[in-house]
Every structure is written in C-alpha cells, then in structure tokens.
Amino acid sequence: MTSLEACVRESKARISAAASGERFASAFTPTAAFVILVACAIPILTLEARAQLQSTVGTQSVLQSLIKWFPLILFGPPREFGGFALNIAVSFLAMALGTAVGIVLGLGQISIHRPLRNLAWALTQFFRNAPWLVLLFFVMLLTPFQIRLFGFSIPLPGWLKASVGLSLPIMANMSEIVRGAVNSIPTAQWESAESLAFTRLQTLWRIILPQCVRRMIPPWMNWYAILTMATPLISIVGVNDAMTLTQDALSAEQRTDLLMPMYSLLLALFFLYCYPIARWTLWLERKYAVKI
C-alpha cells in the first residue's frame, strides 16, 4: 500500500488509455517507409511517361535504361567486383577491422597503466574527430600500391585500402563504446570479483565483458549503418562502387532525363538496406533497455 503502487496503478490506467494511440504509432513507421518509396518512384514514373511521349526510334525509355544499368550498379562490370555489392563488402570488412582493433583500443582506454590509457585515449579522440573523407584520403594516398613480403610483391587493391581507411573512425567509435559499456557496469561487480580472488584479466574477460555485450550491440549496429552510408565516399578515391558506376552510366547515356531516376535508384538501394537495420537497432535498444 505504498504511494509508489498507487502511482504505478494510475499510470497503468493511463497507459491503457494511450494504448490505442500507441498502436497507431507502431503502424506509423511502415507508412513512412511506404511514403518514401512512393516519393522515390514518382520522379521515375513521371519522367518515364514523358520519355515515352518523346521517345524516338533508337532511344530507350527511362525504365528500359534503368533496367539495363541496374545489374552493373548492383554487381559491377562482368568478371570484376564492384557496384553496390562492393559497398556492402567494404562495409563488412571495415566493420570487422574497426571492431577488432577498436575493442583493443577501448580496453587500452580502461587500462590501469596510465601511459597506455593516455595513448589509447589520444588515438581514440584523434580518429573520432577527424573527417572520414580526410582519413580515407590519408590511407589511399600514403600507403603503397603493393607491399613486398618474403620476396613476393602483394598488390594492395583500392577497395582494400578504402576498407582500412573507413575502419579507422569505426575503430575509434568502437573504442568509445567499449569504454562506455565497461564504465556502465557497477563497481560492485569489480569488487565482488576481486574478493573472489579473480585476476584483473579474468574479471574483465569472464565477468565484465559478457555483461557489456548486450549494451554494446545497439550502438555497434548503429555505427554499422553509418559506415554503410559512408561507403559511397570511396567513389571519390576511385573505387568502382555503386556511386562511381552510377556516374559512369550517366556519362555513357548523356541524358538529362536519366539523372533523377538514376540517383533515386541509388538512394533507394541504400535506403532499402539501411532502413531495416535502423528499425532492428531501435527494436534491440528498446528490448535491452527494459531488461537492464
């Protein structure tokens, strides 16, 4: 019979009153997605109609052109790796690299050795606050085209270097995620582990980090989405990604009526890939927020 109970009960009553509104809100986002898709489709369709009217023998309609170029933009030129598939591949590679190094850097930030901690902190801040494109240029221009290892020369393709370049900001942000998650674990956990005679490494590995994983997943996924949306930057440094190929296709066609549909198509590709990830992240965030 505490006041808290009273509070909870009355708020429950209010929640059930608001429930009908809530249900609408959850239906709201698919609606939004639909509106966006339609908005993307409108310029394509209207231009399509106009192109049909204007079309003379020999020129293709907008839709035909889009269909013609779509496989190239999606998978790159035949027998070559490129296009949107390359964007995704680069995002995977950069994410894997950035996560691995970032975890080490993040653990460095919570190290008990002061110099190590300071170094990890400085590296994290540097790569977190530098513009992605500048870092990308840095790696692209300052690493060699090939490296010599045991007398073999191994070529370093552009997409590989680009992945390294994009992994740097991911690394720094991952480092912050690790630091934040470890710091969010109550100190009582450290103390109780210490009283059970665990070493620091054991405590970290067996007790603290497993508790962190759940907290780290939503921000980690959020950074993956941001990274994926940064992958078109590699077109600037000359990698055959979807962006480069879209521009190639446009310059091959030399048709102004294709500009809008082609860019819309590219936007739609990224949207269809990133939007579900964003929804999933939000869902996980809510799910874990309740349990922790």
Partner 1 sequence: MDSFWEFLRHVHDAYGINLVHFYDSFERGRLLKGMLTTLQLSVLCIGLSILIGIFGAWLQGSRFRVLKTLVQAYIQFFRNTPPLVQMFFFYFALGPLMPRVVNDYGIAQPMLGSFAWAMISLSFFAGAFNIEIFRSGIDAVQSATVEAADALGFSRWQAYRYVILPLAVRICLPALNNNLVNLVKTTTQAYAIAVPETLFVASQIWSDRINVLEMMITLLLFYLFLVGILVWGMIRLERALAIPGFGR
Partner 2 sequence: MQANAAWTPDQPIVSVRDVHKSYGKVEVLKGVSLDVRKGEVVCIIGPSGSGKSTLLRCINALVGIDKGSILVEGQEVHDPKLDKLELRKKVSMVFQQYNLFPHKTALENVMMAPILVLKRPKEEVEAQARRLIKKVRLEGKENSYPGELSGGQQQRVAIARSLAMTPDVMLFDEVTSALDPETVKEVLSTIRELADDGMTCILVTHEMGFAREVGDHIYFTEKGVIVEHGPPATFFKEARDPRTREFLSQIL
Give me the residues that bind partner 2 (CB under 8 A), please: 1-3, 5-7, 9-10, 13-14, 16-17, 19-20
Indicate the residue type of 34: F
| Residues 24-53 contacting partner 1, CB under 8 A | 28-29, 31-33, 35-36, 39
Q: Which is nearer to partner 2, 11 or 52 (CB)?
A: 11
Instruction: Provide, rounded to whole angstroms, the least separation between the CB of residue 205 and partner 2.
Output: 40
C-alpha–C-alpha distance, residues 196 and 206, integer Å: 13
Contact 212, 279 (CB under 8 A): no
The answer to whether residues 284 and 221 touch, using CB atoms and an 8 Å cutoff, is yes
| Secondary-structure percent of the chain, ordered helix, strand, coil, rounded to 5 | 80, 5, 15
**Closer CB to partner 1, residue 123 or residue 193?**
123
Beta bridge partners of 154: 147
Among 116, 147, 267, 289, binds partner 1 (CB under 8 A): 267
Indicate the residue among 1 and 149 with the shorter CB distance to partner 2. 1
The binder of partner 1 chosen from 232, 239, 240, 281 (CB under 8 A): 232
Nearer to partner 1, 56 or 256 (CB): 256
Instruction: Confirm or reject binding of residue 233 to partner 1 (CB under 8 A).
Output: yes
Among 58, 7, 40, 62, CA closest to 257: 62
Q: Measure CA of the first residue to CA of the last residue in the chain; give whole Å.
A: 26
Q: Which is nearer to partner 2, 6 or 141 (CB)?
A: 6
CA-based nearest residue to 247, from 266, 229, 231: 266
CB of 28 to partner 1, least distance (A): 7
Site for partner 1 in 177-216 (CB under 8 A): none
Largest CA distance in the chain: 84
Identify the bridge partners of residue 148 per DSSP, sorted by sequence position: 153
Per the CB < 8 A criterion, the answer to whether 105 and 172 are in contact is yes
Pairwise CA distance, residues 180 & 197, whole Å: 25
Nearer to partner 1, 198 or 263 (CB): 263
* Residue 10 partner contact from partner 1, partner 2, none using kind-dependent CB cut-offs of 5 to 8 Å: partner 2
| Partner that binds at residue 206, options partner 1, partner 2, none, CB closer than 5 to 8 Å by kind | none
Q: Which stretch binds partner 1 (CB under 8 A): 51-59, 69-77, 257-265, 280-288?
A: 257-265
Q: Is the dihedral of CA 280, 282, 286, 291 positive or negative?
A: positive
142 binds, among partner 2, partner 1, none (CB under 5 to 8 A by kind): partner 1
Phi then psi for 146, rounded to 5 degrees? Answer: -150, 155
Cα angle vertex 262, ends 261, 268, to 5°?
Answer: 85
243 binds partner 1 (CB under 8 A): yes
Which of partner 1, partner 2, none sits in contact with 2, Cβ below 5 to 8 A by type?
partner 2
The sign of the dihedral angle between the CA atoms of 108, 110, 112, 117 is positive
* Closer residue to partner 2, CB minimum distance, 7 or 259: 7
Give the binding site for partner 1 (CB under 8 A). Answer: 28-29, 31-33, 35-36, 39, 126, 129-134, 137-138, 141-142, 225, 228-233, 235-236, 243, 247, 250, 256, 259-260, 262-264, 266-267, 270-271, 274-275, 278
